[in-house]
Amino acid sequence: QRTFVCSTPSPAMAAGSTAFVASSGGHVAAPTWLALSPHQHCPPQASSSFVGPSVLVATSGAAATAVAALLALVAWPKRGRQRSWRARKTARKSIVAAVAAAASAAKLSAFGRAFALGATVAGSVAGIKEGVDGGPPRTHKSGGKPKVVVLGSGWGAATFMKGLSKDDAEMYDIKVISPRNFFLYTPLLPACTMGSVEERSIVTPVRRLIEGKAEYLEAKCESIDTVTKVVRCCRAGGPARSNDVNYERFPEGDVEGKLIFDVEYDILIYAVGAQTNDFNTPGVKENAFFFKEVQDAHKVREKVTDLFEMASLPTATKKDRDRLLSFVVVGGGPTGVEVAADLADFCERDAIDLYPNLREHIKITLINTGDNLLSTYDQSISKTCMEVFKQKGVEVMAGCRVVEITSDVVKMKRGKEGEIFELPFGCVVWAAGIKEHSLTNQLKASLIQKNE
């Protein structure tokens, strides 16, 4: 069974495409990795049932490049290189050792963005090393080229496809499957909130990235069967009205007209990333804006513009204006900090020029459960961030935990025993963290079942 995991963390966003294995910045617990690496951690009876490579994990851009290099090595015998299997095995382990050394150096010498990338590579190397013992897939059972399925179009998938040469890609039948048909440069997503950077400037079409290497299918993977080596995908057949461009393209459950199809694989590269974590806080899904995709930034921009226009109406009272122009960002990580900063820049410049009479009503609040912003970065960065926010008039509420979000107020308390108090808002952005993708749980269960 060959399953590559290239779920990579975003370098600058806590809500980015973060790995579920070999946790980046402590987002994911270790048991996930235990379940996915039976050779290394499971009891002997579980390990002995494996035939061939187990799970190859690449949870950062560097590790994804290493996976691409491994695929290239697998392709060597088909390209006329006269090497014994022992020699190719040695070459693979050399690459793994090099990646491990680079990862260790990155983990020890860097903080923040570099740490998030480097720390994940070290965890991934063990998975890659586990995959060298069973030999490469020669052909698909149909007699054709080995089939490779890449799930996702984020950092892991994009890095893997960029690292795979066209010559090596010709040795395989590769399909990239993702509901998002473009690669998103997530570090600049917060700058799209109020138009500091245009959305089209931070996206690259997937078909452009994989040109001459693979086929792209715009679909959502619903399940993975690691026994039969099949991924089940779905997509809506089309809108009920021909002029509806905002229809749900990837509906959940049984929906009329839903298209379902299966794709076989010999090698699965799992790079679906993570999803926003609301920590089961009441009202978050209903009343807050998540911030992980281009559509999220666009929705926030539309909401903020709408609030300013409503506050400009003569029917709005002072109390109404104070509430409408109260912008709340939950989360003191990179995403929350950058969204709050972009909002502050907009209110400090454009909003004052466009809505001069509303200046006194504008308020931006950043809520953070910890005492320091950007806690994974150096302390000096956190201190500078607080000073900049103070200059820009952004109120930072440290040590506060949100317990509920209603349609017009955020309810929170300080510490575990503090009293609950409320903060009225016009717009609230939730950037408090991420969790593993729901498909990941299904994949883990399938792998465990296969190896019992």
Distance CA 341, CA 306 (A): 20
Tokens of 240: 């009920």
Residue type present at position 56: L
> What's the per-residue H, E or C state across 270-334?
ECCCEEECCCCCCCHHHHCEECCCHHHHHHHHHHHHHHHHHHCCCCCCHHHHHHHCEEEEECCCH
- For residues 291 and 431, the answer to whether their CB atoms sit within 8 Å is yes
Reported as type and span, the H/E element at residue 174 is strand 173-178
H helix or E strand, kind and range, residue 447: helix 438-450
Q: Give the residue from 425, 421, 451 showing the smallest Cα distance to 322.
A: 425
7: CB partners within 8 A, 6+ apart:
17, 18, 19, 20, 21, 59, 152, 154, 156, 270, 271, 272, 273, 274, 437, 440
Tokens of 418: 């503090």
Please state the length of the chain: 452
Q: What is the pLDDT along the chain (452 residues), one digit of tens a residue?
A: 444 454 433 333 333 332 222 222 333 322 222 223 222 333 333 322 222 333 444 445 555 655 555 565 455 444 444 444 444 444 433 333 333 333 333 333 333 333 333 333 323 333 333 344 455 567 777 778 999 999 999 999 999 999 999 999 999 999 999 999 999 999 999 999 888 888 899 999 999 999 999 999 999 999 999 999 999 999 999 898 999 988 999 998 888 889 999 999 999 999 999 999 999 999 999 999 999 999 999 999 999 999 999 999 999 999 999 999 999 999 999 999 999 999 999 999 999 999 999 999 999 999 999 999 999 999 999 999 999 999 999 999 999 999 999 999 999 999 888 899 999 999 999 999 999 999 999 999 999 988 88
